[in-house]
C-alpha cells in the first residue's frame, strides 16, 4: 500500500476517542463515526483508578484531569446499617507513592471532553449510525442507517455494549438480565447544606444491594452515587444512559441504610437507571481487518469500576500494536492486540461479576499496577 492507510473507528465514547487521539498522534489517518448528533453532558460520575490514569498520563491529560477531578482520600467500605468499616484502602499520596499516579473521581462528561479535545473536529462524523459492515479483500465498508457508506482500510468497533461491529462477525447476542438495576445521579452538593459527605469514595454494602457515593469535582460542588439493587424482571429497564428512575422507589429500596446514605438520597432530586445485564466472554474480538475495543468486546458489571479503564488500556495496547505493525498487516496486529488484552479483560470481567471487590481486604496490585504503555507487546504463554 503506497498511501497512508485509514483506520475507521465506530463510536466516539471513551474508548473510541482515546484510540483516535493515540492513532492521530502516531501519524495514522483516522475517521470516527458516531451515531449521536453531538456530545451531551451525561449525568454520571466515573472512578479512574491508577491503571487508567497511567494511560491518561501518557496522553498528556493528567494535569488537566487533576484540575477538574476529585481525589478521594480513601476507598472506604462500610456496612449498610451500622456504618462499620469493613475495609479502607488509603488512596491520596499513598496511592501516588505506590502506583506513581493518583486515584481520581470525576464527571464522566469532563473525562469525555478532555479526550475529545485531543481529536480534531473534522475527524469525527456525527449522525452516522452504523447499520452493517461489509468485509472486502483489502478494505472494510461501513453502511449507515441513512443510506450513506464509507470505506476504510481497517475498522475498530468501539460502539459499546450493543456493538453492531461485534454482531457483524459474532452474530446477534442474547444478554441475560441479571435481575438487578443500577440507579445513578449527579446533583449539586449545595443541596446537602452544611451536612456534607466525607472525602472518601464510600461503598455501603447491604445484604443484596449497595450504593457508592463520592464527589466528582475538585471543587466538591457535585455529588454522584450509583447503586445496584434487585428489580423484578417483569418490568425491564433498558441498558441505557437516559432512562429516568423513580426517586421515591429508590429511597424506599434504601430505607434500611445508614442515615448518611438516606440524607444523600433525600437531597437528590432525580436519578437515572440502567439494567444490569450478564454476558459471557466473547469467543474472539477480531476478524480480519476488524477489531473490537471496550464494552463492545468485554462488557462487565460496574462493580470494580473498571469498564472504562479496560477501554483505555485496550486503546493504548491497540495503538502500540498498530504502531509496530509490519506492512499494513492489520489482521496480525489485531490478533496480537487480542492475545495481549483478552486474558486480562476477561479476568476483570469475571471478577466484576462476583461483586466483592474491596469489601474486605483485597490485593489491588494486579488491577491498579498495570501499565498499558509499558507491558511487553508479546503473546502471553499459553
Ligand atoms: C452505572 C455505571 C457506572 C460505571 N462506572 C464506571 C467507573 O466508575 N469506572 C470505569 O472505568 N467504568 C465504569 N463504568 C463502565 C464504563 O461506563 C464503560 O465501560 C465505558 O463507557 C465503555 O466505553 P466504550 O468506549 O467502550 O463505550 P461507550 O462509552 O458506551 O461508547 C460507545 C459509543 O459508540 C456509539 N455508538 C453505539 N452504537 C453505534 C452505532 N451503531 N453507530 C455509531 N455509533 C455508535 C455510542 O453513541 C457511544 O458514543 C460504568 C458503567 C455503568 C453502567
- Contact status, residue 17 vs residue 115, Cβ threshold 8 Å: yes
Phi and psi of 291, rounded to 5°? Answer: -135, 155
For residue 243, the CA-to-ligand 1 centroid distance in Å is 15
- Contact status, residue 106 vs residue 65, Cβ threshold 8 Å: yes
For residue 321, the CA-to-ligand 1 centroid distance in Å is 23
- Band of the pLDDT at 173, cuts 50, 70, 90? confident
Whole-number pLDDT of residue 236: 67
- How far apart CA 104 and CA 106 sit, in angstroms, is 7
For residue 3, the CA-to-ligand 1 centroid distance in Å is 33
- How far apart CA 325 and CA 329 sit, in angstroms, is 6
Q: Return the residue whose CA atom lies nearest to atom 37 of ligand 1.
A: 159
From the list 111, 90, 95, the residue with the least C-alpha distance to 49 is 95
* Cell numbers given for 274: 440502567
Q: CA angle at residue 116 from 114 to 120, to 5 degrees? A: 130
Q: What pTM value is reported for the model?
A: 0.96
**pLDDT tens digit string along 38-84?**
998 877 999 999 999 999 999 999 999 999 999 999 999 999 999 99
Count of CA atoms in the C-beta half-sphere (13 A) of 221: 2
- How far apart CA 172 and CA 297 sit, in angstroms, is 13
Whole-number pLDDT of residue 233: 67
- How far apart CA 347 and CA 349 sit, in angstroms, is 5
- How far apart CA 47 and CA 44 sit, in angstroms, is 10
Whole-number pLDDT of residue 232: 81
Active-site residues, by number, are: 214
Does the Cβ of 345 fall within 6 Å of ligand 1? no
Does the Cβ of 34 fall within 6 Å of ligand 1? yes
**pLDDT tens digit string along 318-361?**
999 999 998 889 999 999 999 999 999 999 999 999 999 999 99
For residue 277, the CA-to-ligand 1 centroid distance in Å is 14
Percent with pLDDT over 70 in the chain:
98
Residue 255: Cβ-neighbour burial (10 angstroms; 0-12, 13-18, 19+): exposed
From the list 276, 259, 268, 278, the residue with the least C-alpha distance to 209 is 276
Say which residue the cell 496480525 belongs to.
332
Pocket test for ligand 1, best of 274, 293, 308, 316 (most atoms within 8 A of CB): 308
Ligand 1 atom with minimal separation from the 144 CA: 42
- Contact status, residue 14 vs residue 115, Cβ threshold 8 Å: yes
- Contact status, residue 169 vs residue 282, Cβ threshold 8 Å: no
Amino acid at each position: 500500500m503506497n498511501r497512508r492507510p485509514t483506520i475507521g473507528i465506530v463510536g466516539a465514547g471513551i474508548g473510541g476517542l482515546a484510540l483516535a487521539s493515540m492513532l492521530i498522534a502516531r501519524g495514522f489517518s483516522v475517521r470516527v463515526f458516531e451515531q449521536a448528533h453531538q456530545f451531551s453532558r451525561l449525568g454520571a460520575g466515573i472512578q479512574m483508578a491508577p491503571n487508567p490514569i497511567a494511560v491518561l498520563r501518557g496522553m498528556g491529560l493528567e494535569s488537566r484531569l487533576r484540575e477538574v477531578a476529585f481525589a478521594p482520600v480513601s476507598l472506604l467500605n462500610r456496612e449498610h446499617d451500622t456504618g462499620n468499616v469493613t475495609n479502607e484502602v488509603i488512596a491520596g499520596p499513598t496511592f501516588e507513592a505506590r502506583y506513581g499516579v493518583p486515584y481520581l473521581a470525576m464527571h464522566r462528561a469532563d473525562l469525555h471532553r478532555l479526550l475529545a479535545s485531543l481529536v480534531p473536529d473534522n475527524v469525527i462524523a456525527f449522525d452516522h449510525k452504523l447499520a452493517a459492515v461489509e468485509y472486502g479483500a483489502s478494505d472494510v465498508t461501513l453502511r449507515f442507517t441513512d443510506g450513506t457508506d464509507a470505506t476504510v482500510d481497517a475498522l475498530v468497533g468501539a460502539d459499546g455494549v450493543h456493538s453492531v461491529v461485534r454482531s457483524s462477525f459474532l452474530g446477534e447476542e442474547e444478554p441475560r438480565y441479571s435481575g438487578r438495576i443500577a440507579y445513578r445521579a449527579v446533583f449539586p452538593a449545595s443541596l446537602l447544606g452544611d451536612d456534607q459527605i466525607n472525602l472518601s469514595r464510600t461503598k455501603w454494602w447491604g445484604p443484596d444491594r449497595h450504593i457508592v457515593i463520592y464527589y466528582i469535582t475538585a471543587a466538591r460542588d457535585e455529588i454522584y452515587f450509583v447503586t445496584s439493587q434487585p428489580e423484578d424482571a417483569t418490568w425491564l429497564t433498558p441498558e441505557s444512559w437516559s432512562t429516568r428512575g423513580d426517586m421515591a422507589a429508590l429511597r424506599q429500596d434504601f430505607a434500611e441504610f445508614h442515615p448518611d446514605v438516606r440524607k444523600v438520597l433525600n437531597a437528590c432530586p432525580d436519578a437515572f437507571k440502567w439494567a444490569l445485564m450478564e454476558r459471557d466472554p466473547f469467543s474472539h474480538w477480531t476478524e480480519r481487518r476488524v477489531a473490537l475495543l471496550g464494552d463492545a468486546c468485554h462488557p462487565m458489571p460496574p462493580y470494580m469500576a473498571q469498564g472504562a479503564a479496560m477501554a483505555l488500556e485496550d486503546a493504548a495496547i491497540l495503538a502500540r500494536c498498530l504502531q509496530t505493525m509490519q506492512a499494513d498487516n492489520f489482521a496480525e496486529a489485531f490478533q496480537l492486540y487480542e492475545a495481549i488484552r483478552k486474558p486480562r479483560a476477561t479476568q476483570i470481567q469475571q471478577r466484576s461479576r462476583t461483586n466483592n471487590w474491596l469489601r474486605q481486604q483485597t490485593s489491588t496490585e494486579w488491577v491498579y499496577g498495570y501499565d498499558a504503555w509499558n507491558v511487553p507487546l508479546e503473546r502471553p504463554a499459553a
